[in-house]
Chain A
Amino acid sequence: MRDSIAVVMVGEVDHGKSSLVGRLLDETGAISPSRVEAVKRICQQQGKEFEHAFLLDAFEEEQRQGITIDVSHVHFATKVRSYHLIDAPGHREFLKNMVSGSSSADAAILLIDAKQGVQEQSRRHSYLLKMLGIKNVIVAVNKMDLVGYSEMVFTAIRFEHETYLKELGITQVQYVPLSAKVGVNISNTSNEMPWYKGTHLVGCLDTLPSRKLHDEGPLRFSVQDVYKFDDRRIVAGRVESGRLNVGAELKIWPAGKNVKVTTIERWNSLKKDFAEAGESIGITLSDQVFIERGHVLTLNQEPVSSASAIETSLFWMGQRPLCLHDHVKIKLLNQEMTCEVSRIHRIIDTTSLQGSTSDIHRVEKFEVAEVTLKMSRPLMADTFAQLPTSGRFVLVDSNKVSGGGIITKTFDTDLEHDRPKNLHITRELSNVATSDRNARNGHQGAVLWLTGLSGSGKSTLAKVLESALFDRGHQTYVLDGDNLRHGLNSDLDFSIAGRRENIRRVAEVAKILSEAGQIVIAAFITPFERDRANLRRIVNSPNYFEAFVDCPLEVCEARDPKGLYKLARTGQLPLFTGVSSPFEKPTRPEIIIDSNKISPEDNMRVLLRFLESKNVFVNSAPKKHLRTLKSS
């Protein structure tokens, strides 16, 4: 079976999307000659010239008005793979159809008319693609025949849009000049544009990466239903991310009960004792615990975020505006509950692309906004950056799906562990949105946690990196174990419990600093997997990165900068990591740093590139950029 991906075609109305789709179908042999003939016949009857667009616009109204009203889904195949192509309408009135079409896509073709250049709709669609989490974009500059196949025109458009996409954080972009009408550079290399060294459109498509299912990362099994057709009680649902194994110890969210997977139920399928992301399965459990639609199963030892409020970017398409303090229904996985619009931080009007932040009370139809939603009961939620499938939601107003959005931050319901002793303590939400802080700083807050043996070079690396970030104009701060033990943690000893509490406090401080916008570098041995998992849960941010500073024990011991190994070997330092206490090697660090062979300066550059690749230096708020666009 060949690989298949879904690609959405977006762009301004009249820039030729449907023509290009029709052309692609024709050139790849996906459309039958009889169908082309039938459409040609209709054109003849109506006295107009045949266009490839008519192959897609099936409704009489669409053909008569020459516009696409609703999304069309078609299929074609190249030598490399098969494609599910989604032709989305460009007309503003049909934005909800464009969003519907794009939400299931793996990649996008953004069409720009060479003669008209980048239009507002081109930017609006780009913005929505970013919101929908589409990272791979092919920008097709169409109608090159109308500008004499000019390299200058192509380069100018490319330059203008490239800057915009970069600011949005869309970095996997290919640019291709073509003419859908004439059929230039679609599936054949063109003679018209010898200056263009890249491949034709089909070639660009074939280089797109395959569909990525979220196999890695924490397990989220969303319960759709519970069936009892015979003596089995089958919990039906889908593995949204991670992997589910027979025998795995699971936790039922929200009840917190622990259960074990007894069997995975599939009918007329090969027996397998695991299920991967994307599979719709049934499972039976070891205990007859209460479980129903909307519950989520996670791995017992893994952290799960139980949100009382979420910060979101959302797209509104309801008939009436979404107002401050409105109550609407939120649907995330199979969870449904009421939530309140507790704050509207910013509106990005998708028509003018202006950002405004002053005292906003409503989100109008087709606007994109940054909004905080307060839940009526705890919501199992992840940030979109961490886990896309459980980091996105729709809003239902008067029984109509009226909005969709992605989660940028979760505010946890206080978990048992961190629950304040005083019941009258609640959470206050800040008036300043995370994106506002990021906009001012020009980067996001983050926590880079360096774990490794004593003497592996964590502190040295932390300080070199701090200087480098500072010199680049970033907000940054190093948290160092010894320093904190002088003040905040001076009451703690080096017992297991004392060390654990030490790490918990540092994690809380790191969380606060990163929320304040700092790039926090923490240098701590943190030898236990359990503590590392715990602090990851406390910081609870997509920008939490565990870096394993890897250096052999012998090398660390030979370095022994503080003379601690010597003390430990002579028994004067009990429970010393590597000597009399274990160092559990990190099983899933975001990055491994070789501090044995590689210098701190080179490792600093590795970490800078790493943070860059994680988009930490991307300012997620578009406001600043959009204002410059407007004034230019």
Chain B
Amino acid sequence: MMDHLDQLEAQSIYIIREAYAKFKRIGALWSIGKDSTVLLWLIRKSFAGNCPIPLVHIDTSFKIPEMITYRDQIAKQWGLQMIVGQNKEALKNGMNHTKGRLECCTALKTTGLQQVIEQHKFQGIMLGIRRDEEGTRAKERFFSPRNKNFEWDFKDQPPELWDQFQTDYPAEIHVRVHPLLQWTELNVWEYILKEKIPIIDLYFAKNGKRYRSLGCAPCTATITSNASSIEEIIEELKTTKVSERSGRAQDQADNHAMQKLRVKGYM
């Protein structure tokens, strides 16, 4: 009998294979965090251990240094095709979070991603976002189109019935594919435990502090925690009342910060 985690895994694999069958040029966004690492794992699961899809990492240059070390080590170990994108022009002009968090996220992450998608003419890009992360993501589709200006028309999303997805679009449209949409934070950790996925150790508590969500160093705070193993994190999540992205400064920058970021093409 399949349990809930088995069902989530099977559905994600189905979505990944659909996207791979439908889009000739497709990439997957790997932010190095736990969700996109689970996504990467599921991609390998979908293709009998192979990863036929290039992985895109948007390097804002402000990432926590351990993240880059971990990225390069895993990429080498698993033989991944990496595309590292960086909005060099914005960085040259001195963009950083002190110019405004939303402005910085848009320039370094959104525009950085836009440049990669344009350069590689991606029709589809997979992302590890989940519906339980925050309100606007709760309203996402598995296959979510973005127009040439990268905008998300959340008022007119395509219907999704019975795992039949809308995949035919003109060239200027790209589709965000979200295989992990149905997963919760707890599911992700339970899966990491079950599959023994090598996850970056920034998530594990050192000296009473750990990261619950990973991002750029200046805008990502640790939480108080003694959870130093996957099992302990799972226990912690079962009782916590603090939201997952509470350590992410950009979310709190404005009442509708995430909506404002996401309609413009943020992940």
Contacts and interface: CB of A to CB of B under 8 A. Distances in A.
Contact of B159 (A224, A236, A317): A317
Interface string B9-29: 111011001101100000000
B182 A84 contact: yes
Given A58-B135, A60-B259, A229-B52, A103 B161 contact: yes
A73 B182 contact: yes
A238 B163 CA distance: 12
Given A96-B159, A280-B10, A224 B18 contact: yes
B75 interface: no
B48 A404 contact: no
B47 A60 contact: no
Interface in A78-99: 82, 84, 96-97, 99
Contacts of A238: 10, 14
Given A59-B154, A280-B13, A401 B159 contact: yes
A255 to B, nearest CB: 20
A72 B138 contact: yes
Interface string A36-51: 0010011001000000
Interface string A355-398: 00000000000000000000000000000000001001110100
B207 interface: no
Contact of B166 (A278, A279, A401): A401
A283 to B, nearest CB: 11
B13 A1 contact: no
Contacts of B181: 73
B171 interface: no
A331 B164 contact: yes
Contact of A99 (B21, B48, B159, B243): B159
A401 B164 contact: yes
Interface string B139-176: 10100000000000011011111101110110000000
A75 interface: yes
A269 B17 CA distance: 18
B98 interface: no
Contacts, number: 160
B255 interface: yes
A400 to B, nearest CB: 7
Nearest to B160: A100
B131 interface: yes
Nearest to A6: B182
Contact of B48 (A2, A32, A282): A282
A4 B4 contact: yes
A279 B10 CA distance: 5
B17 A224 contact: yes
A239 B52 CA distance: 23
Contacts of A61: 155
A293 B14 CA distance: 13
A236 B139 contact: no
Contacts of B162: 103-104, 389, 392, 394, 404
A583 B244 CA distance: 64
A213 interface: yes
A127 B154 CA distance: 26
B122 to A, nearest CB: 19
Interface string A1-45: 111100000000000000000000000010011110010011001
Contacts of B6: 278-279
Contact of A267 (B48, B134, B242, B255): B48
Which of B135, B162, B240, B255 has most chain A Cβ within 10 Å? B162
A280 B2 CA distance: 11
A532 to B, nearest CB: 29
Given A45-B255, A224-B17, A225-B21, A59 B139 contact: yes
A60 B155 CA distance: 12
Given A69-B155, A75-B132, A227-B47, A58 B138 contact: yes
Interface SS of B by simple majority: loop
A59 B46 CA distance: 34
Contacts of B14: 224, 238, 280
Interface in A225-265: 225, 227, 229, 232, 234, 236, 238, 265
A265 B48 contact: yes
B47 A229 contact: yes
A99 B161 contact: yes
A70 interface: yes
A265 B17 CA distance: 15
A450 B181 CA distance: 49
Contacts of A276: 1-2
Nearest to B7: A278
A570 interface: no
Nearest to A265: B48
Contacts of B195: 268
Contacts of A551: none
A293 B18 CA distance: 10
A74 interface: yes
A70 B158 contact: no
Contacts of A404: 159, 161-162, 164
B195 to A, nearest CB: 6
Contacts of B256: 59-60
Given A61-B155, A74-B138, A267-B48, A399 B4 contact: no
B76 to A, nearest CB: 19
Interface in B212-260: 240-243, 246, 255-256, 258-259
B139 A58 contact: yes
B44 interface: yes
30 contacts: A3-B4, A32-B243, A32-B246, A33-B241, A34-B243, A38-B255, A56-B135, A57-B135, A58-B139, A60-B259, A73-B138, A75-B132, A75-B184, A99-B161, A100-B159, A224-B21, A225-B20, A225-B21, A238-B10, A238-B14, A267-B44, A267-B48, A268-B45, A276-B1, A278-B10, A279-B6, A317-B159, A331-B164, A389-B162, A394-B162
Interface of B: 1-7, 9-11, 13-14, 17-18, 20-21, 44-50, 52, 131-132, 134-136, 138-139, 141, 154-155, 157-162, 164-166, 168-169, 181-182, 184, 190, 195, 240-243, 246, 255-256, 258-259
Given A45-B255, A61-B155, 4 more contacts: A225-B21, A229-B52, A234-B48, A399-B169
Interface of A: 1-4, 29, 32-35, 38, 41-42, 45, 56-61, 69-75, 82, 84, 96-97, 99-100, 103-104, 211, 213, 224-225, 227, 229, 232, 234, 236, 238, 265-269, 276, 278-280, 282, 293, 317, 331, 389, 392-394, 396, 399-401, 404
Nearest first, the 8 closest Cβ-Cβ pairs linking A and B are: A58-B135, A280-B13, A399-B168, A1-B3, A4-B4, A103-B161, A73-B131, A394-B164
